[in-house]
Amino acid sequence: MCREKRRAKCPLHCKKNVKMYIVSSMKKIMLFIACCLCLLSCSLSSGKKIDRVQTKKEIYARKKLQPLKEEIASVHQKKQAAIEQYINSLSLEEKICQLFIVNLEGDRTFVPVEKMTAVSSGYKDGVPVIPGGYLFFSYNLAETPEEVIGFTDSIREFCIENDCIPPFLAVDQEGGYVNRLRTLNGPLPSAERVSSRLPVEKAYRLYSLQAVQMKSLGFSVNMAPVVEICTDMNREFLDGRSFGDAAAVEQYSRACVNAYENNGIGTVPKHFPGNTNTDPHTGLPEIRLSKENLYSLLVPFRKIVSARPSGMLMSHARTSCIDSKTPACLSYEWVTKTLKDTYGFEGIVFSDDIFMGALSGNGYPPEKACVQAIEAGVDCIMISEKRIADPAKVLVEHALADEAFSARITDAAKKMILFKLKYGILEWQREQGGKAYSINPCVQSESAEDRLVHFYDARNENRELYIENF
């Protein structure tokens, strides 16, 4: 067949056929586009319908939830009113007593060592002095968990019987050689060993088991962890109490705080803003660093604030770059401007022991130190002694002479009451069919036998974890 004939038979070479082919193809394309547009329109239409349904559901849910929201807001308002009423019902002396954590007498049956007549002549003889909290040392701890529970229960029972505000019970349970419960609880290595041997998750479990044991024994506060970065400046003094470098301190201190707080034990990270190799028990630590270098060491403290620990313990160190004249625990620059205002810490600020040589040997005797600590923004003053009447009396005198100082005391006392409500030392009670609330001492809800079961279960798991990893 010739080339011309072959071309004539080929539809693509026929002008008429080519035109028909193009038209047919265009129709198909237009039909396809039309189908797509239709589908898109249906989809949008369906989406609008779904949106309308969701909106209706949201409106319905909002209407259903509104009474609950109003009830929650009402309860909150009533509780706030109850707190204010409770604080206002306290005498100035009672508020001031709440601002101390002190040592106590004995290890078996609680007996207060002071009477309120030593604080103010306005009290009847026989009214006991009960501070905001007690700090247990090794000699306050009996040999068995059963005996410790009996002792801590006797404190609560005494306060209920004598119409006193029950104290929180605290202990230094860091681990390593700062380990008050070493003969009772399962083993607790130092912070340095924990960070070097355990992943963060296991560290959290270890501290959780310690928390369960502490709560079972009757404690509500652990004066830990140490949140200082270990450097040449403080290595000798800390001696394994730090988790290590900045990254380790940030990770493990957060795990520690979360573990205790999540299991009903308040935590008090320490020592802000740091220490040197000078032991504050005997001398005054001097931190001579630039602002830049010092602030780089404070990053873990700043970050631990977001974990919402119950407290923060101030150090006695004096810093050349911020407040060169005043120890940190007495410094408004450090306590209020830095920790509270800049870092946003809203918990209880503790001083370190005001009987330490760092203060008493450098122009700050306890009576002077306690006033300056409150003025600086400290909420709870630590005293390693068993008596608080003398410094409390000084605070009373200042409060009566200075309205701003009195308001500062009321604010600090309120923090203490809120903490005790949070951790079951005090409790809310509904009055008048829920129309109002009152605040009362919390009665132990679990028997000693049940708490012992929790204690031994946690201790056994604690020891298994230790054997496996250490």
Task: Give the count of alpha carbons within 13 A of 198, CB side only.
Answer: 27
Coil, helix or strand at residue 204: helix
Pick the range with the lowest mean pLDDT from 34-43, 337-346, 372-381.
Answer: 34-43
∠ CA 178-182-187, rounded to 5°: 100
Residue 427 inside a domain? The answer is yes
Residue 40 inside a domain? The answer is no
Domains identified in the chain, total number: 1
Q: Which of 111, 184, 187, 103 is nearest to 147 (CA)?
A: 184
Alpha carbon of 128 to those of 89, 248, 365, 400: distances in Å?
A: 18, 45, 25, 22
Residue 29 inside a domain? The answer is no
Bridge partners, 312 (sequence order): 349
| Joined tokens for residue 304 | 């631990």
Query: 47 pLDDT band (50/70/90 cuts)?
Result: very low
Q: How far apart are CA 146 and CA 212, in angstroms?
A: 15
Bridge partners, 270 (sequence order): 226
- Predicted pLDDT of residue 10: 44
351 touches 380 (CB < 8 A): yes
The sign of the CA dihedral 272, 277, 279, 280 is: negative
Residue 177 inside a domain? The answer is yes
Q: Which helix (H) or strand (E) holds 461?
A: helix 448-469
DSSP-derived secondary structure letter, 130: -
Residue 4 inside a domain? The answer is no
Phi-psi category of 427—alpha, beta or left, where left has phi over 0 and alpha has psi -120 to 50?
beta
pLDDT digit string, tens, across residues 89-112: 999 999 999 999 999 999 999 999
The torsion defined by the Cα of 119, 120, 125 and 129, in degrees rounded to 10, comes to: -30
Q: How far apart are CA 174 and CA 171, in angstroms?
A: 9
Query: 8 pLDDT band (50/70/90 cuts)?
Result: very low
Q: How many CB atoms lie within 10 A of CB 158?
A: 17
Residue 24 inside a domain? The answer is no
Query: 49 pLDDT band (50/70/90 cuts)?
Result: very low
- Predicted pLDDT of residue 209: 98
Residue 12 inside a domain? The answer is no
Phi, psi of 314 (to 5 degrees): -80, 150
- Predicted pLDDT of residue 7: 43
- Predicted pLDDT of residue 41: 53
Q: How far apart are CA 34 and CA 24, in angstroms?
A: 15
**Amino acid type, 63:** K
Q: How far apart are CA 111 and CA 154, in angstroms?
A: 9
Q: How many CB atoms lie within 10 A of CB 464?
A: 12
**Beta strands, E only, 95-213:** 100-102, 133-136, 168-171, 173-175, 178-179
Q: How far apart are CA 359 and CA 382, in angstroms?
A: 13
pLDDT digit string, tens, across residues 408-463: 999 999 999 999 999 999 999 988 777 789 999 998 889 999 999 999 999 999 99
Residue-range definition of the domain harbouring residue 259: 90-469
Q: Which of 250, 246, 254, 226 is nearest to 238 (CA)?
A: 226
pLDDT digit string, tens, across residues 186-235: 999 999 999 999 999 999 999 999 999 999 999 999 999 999 999 999 99
- Give me the percent of the chain exceeding a pLDDT of 90: 79
- Predicted pLDDT of residue 228: 98
Alpha carbon of 77 to those of 65, 80, 329: distances in Å?
A: 18, 5, 34
**Amino acid type, 42:** C
Residue 366 inside a domain? The answer is yes
- Predicted pLDDT of residue 53: 56
Alpha carbon of 178 to those of 188, 271, 391, 442: distances in Å?
A: 10, 14, 28, 30
Q: How many CB atoms lie within 10 A of CB 434?
A: 11
- Sheet bearing 266-267, strands edge to edge: 266-267, 221-222, 168-171, 133-136, 100-102, 381-383
pLDDT digit string, tens, across residues 237-257: 999 999 999 999 999 999 999
Q: 133-136 and 168-171 as β-strands: parallel, antiparallel, unpaired?
A: parallel
Task: Give the count of alpha carbons within 13 A of 97, CB side only.
Answer: 26
Q: How far apart are CA 414 and CA 406, in angstroms?
A: 12
- Predicted pLDDT of residue 36: 55
104 touches 139 (CB < 8 A): no
Place of tokens 């602002």: 291
| Joined tokens for residue 136 | 């247990």
Q: How far apart are CA 120 and CA 96, in angstroms?
A: 12
CATH number at residue 292: 3.20.20.300
Q: How far apart are CA 298 and CA 150, in angstroms?
A: 41
Phi, psi of 133 (to 5 degrees): -155, 160
CB-based burial of residue 303 (10 Å sphere; 0-12 exposed, 13-18 middle, 19+ buried)? middle
